[in-house]
């Protein structure tokens, strides 16, 4: 199983990245309990800020941005975490998502999370993040996780992280792998040549 982490924190170190890492660890542990082997890839959106803007303006992707987009497209599941700005996801987070090809996230299990300064912004999960990923036809895990500054180290946050990780693992295990072989690859055992289709 391949899990890609989309972390849109703007600082280093970042509470957004810390939450993303903990959610990934919980998901990985839950998948391994179910007998799955797991690979993870991390997309740090902050490091791609200039590349994202250049693509939106020129329609030309840098190799670094193309690799990040491929990491998302090739994933069996996505852990997506954004800081909260004005009761929504960050502009950089949305700009990266806008660079993805249409249909990239369709049918993909996604665990949503956000960080913020106070608990009163926790509605960002249901008023901004969930509608965005619903529009993109992703399969969002039932539990989304919001971490305010005061939540760190609390048993409540630990429990939400574990529950969300288990739910994402359940979604991933219930679905077939999203990775598909190239239909034009003659080394694919399922490949049928034109001659075979014509009965020659």
pLDDT, tens only, 67-92: 999 999 999 999 999 999 999 999 99
What is the average pLDDT across 145-156? 94
Q: Choose the weakest-confidence range: 5-9, 153-157, 159-163, 173-177.
A: 173-177
Please tell me the distance from the alpha carbon of residue 80 to that of residue 180, in angstroms, as a whole number.
23
Q: What is the pLDDT of residue 53?
A: 96
Please tell me the distance from the alpha carbon of residue 107 to that of residue 77, in angstroms, as a whole number.
9
Q: What is the pLDDT of residue 13?
A: 86
- Domain span at 113: 2-197
pTM score of the predicted model? 0.87
Residue 56, SS3 per DSSP: helix
In sequence order, what are the beta bridge partners of 146? 114
CB crowding 58-86: b at 16 or more within 10 Å, else e: eeebeeebeebbebbbebbbbbbbbbbbe
- Domain of 50, CATH number, reads 3.40.50.360
What is the average pLDDT across 133-137? 97
pLDDT, tens only, 167-194: 999 999 998 876 544 444 445 555 555 5
pLDDT, tens only, 110-134: 999 999 999 989 999 999 999 999 9
More confident residue, 106 or 13: 106
Q: What is the pLDDT of residue 11?
A: 87
| H or E segment to which residue 50 belongs | helix 49-58
Residue 135 has pLDDT above 80, yes or no: yes
Measure Cα distances from 115 to 7, 83, 145, 200 in Å. Answer: 11, 5, 8, 61
**Domain count for the chain:** 1
* Cβ-based neighbours of 169, under 8 Å, separated by 6 or more: 27, 30, 31, 33, 34, 36
Residue given tokens 């574990």 in the structure block = 162
């Amino acid at each position: 199983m391949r899990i890609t982490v989309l972390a849109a924190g703007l600082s280093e170190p970042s509470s957004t990245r810390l939450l993303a890492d903990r959610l990934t660890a919980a998901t990985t542990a839950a998948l391994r309990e179910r007998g799955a082997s797991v690979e993870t890839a991390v997309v740090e959106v902050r490091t791609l800020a200039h590349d994202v803007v250049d693509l939106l303006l020129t329609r030309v992707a840098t190799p670094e941005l193309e690799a990040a987009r491929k990491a998302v497209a090739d994933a069996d599941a996505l852990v997506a975490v954004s800081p909260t700005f004005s009761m929504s996801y960050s502009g950089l987070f949305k700009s990266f998502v806008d660079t993805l090809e249409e249909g990239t996230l369709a049918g993909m299990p996604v665990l949503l999370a956000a960080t913020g300064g106070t608990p009163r912004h926790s509605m960002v999960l249901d008023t901004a993040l969930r509608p965005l990923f619903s529009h993109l036809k992703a399969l969002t895990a039932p539990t989304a996780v919001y971490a305010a500054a005061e939540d760190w180290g609390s048993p409540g946050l630990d429990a939400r992280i574990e529950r969300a990780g288990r739910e994402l693992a359940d979604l991933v295990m219930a679905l077939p792998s999203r990775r598909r072989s190239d239909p034009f690859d003659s080394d694919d055992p399922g490949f049928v040549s034109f001659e075979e289709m014509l009965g020659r």
